[in-house]
Structure formats: C-alpha cells, structure tokens
C-alpha cells in the first residue's frame, strides 16, 4: 500500500511539473502598461494616507495589522518623515512605542531635512512623546 501511494504521489508531481511547463511564460507576466503602474501608485498613496490617519486617531489594531502583514515598514517615510516622527508630532506616545517595537528606532529616525524625532517632539511641545522617546532610548 505504501509503495502504491508513493508511486501515485511521484506521478502526480511529474504530471504537475509537465503541466506547468506547457504554460507560456509570457502569459504569467504582469502587464507593465501605464494603467497598472498608476493603480499601484494610487494604492501606495492610499495606504500612506490611511496610515497617517491611523496614527492621528490612535488606531493601534490597524497599524499593528499593517506592520504584521508587512504592508508597511515601521521605518517608512511619508511626506519626507518617518512614521514615528509623525507620531511624535501628534504626541502619540503609545503609537511611538508600537512603531519602536517593530523596529522604527533601530536607527535614529531622521526626516529629509535632517531633524530627528526629539527635535520634532520639542518643536511641537509633545511632552508625552518626549517622555516615551527618552524611555525607549534608555
């Protein structure tokens, strides 16, 4: 019985491999026209917008789901600033902690202008964010 199952399994693998070989590679490729590129860019900007809204509204479940699925990177830049800096600007200490837990503070977060997270927290008088940053860095 074991030999029969092993033989049947081997035949099914061989058949599967042969069937895949008959499919032309051109039919498997993704079209690279301007329409499909535009849709991808729209989705990307939509995710960035929703991510910023989630930071402002403290939607931790949504943010954690995006981070776990790999939809967003914790060090992702939006509007020239890392996500964790956006959390500091809005004084969202727990959002800073969530992003830091996923690696946003592995490298000191700096915006395109060269300002770091603590500079933004001080500039926007975000005292809860400042306290959280001090705790994370210690």
pLDDT, average across residues 67-78: 95
Name the CATH superfamily housing domain 31-137.
Ankyrin repeat-containing domain (1.25.40.20)
Write down the pTM of the prediction: 0.69
- Backbone torsions φ then ψ of 92, nearest 5 degrees: -105, 85
Report CA-CA distances (Å) from 51 to 2, 112, 123: 53, 19, 22
Residue 59 pLDDT > 80? yes
Residue reference for tokens 């995006």: 66
Higher-confidence position of 19 and 96: 96
- pLDDT-derived band at 3 (thresholds 50, 70, 90) equals low
Task: Quick: pLDDT tens for 13-37.
Answer: 454 444 444 444 444 444 454 444 4
Quote the pLDDT of residue 45: 84
């Amino acid at each position: 019985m074991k030999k029969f199952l092993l033989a049947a399994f081997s035949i099914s693998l061989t058949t599967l491999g042969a069937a895949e070989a008959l499919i032309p590679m051109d039919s498997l490729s993704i079209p690279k026209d301007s329409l499909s590129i535009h849709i991808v860019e729209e989705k990307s900007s939509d995710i960035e917008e929703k991510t910023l809204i989630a930071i402002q509204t403290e939607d931790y479940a949504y943010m954690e789901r995006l981070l776990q699925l790999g939809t967003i990177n914790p060090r992702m830049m939006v509007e020239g600033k890392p996500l964790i800096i956006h959390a500091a600007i809005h004084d969202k200490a727990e959002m800073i902690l969530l992003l830091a837990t996923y690696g946003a503070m592995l490298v000191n977060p700096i915006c395109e202008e060269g300002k770091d997270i603590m500079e933004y927290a001080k500039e926007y008088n975000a005292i809860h964010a400042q306290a959280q940053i001090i705790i994370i860095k210690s």
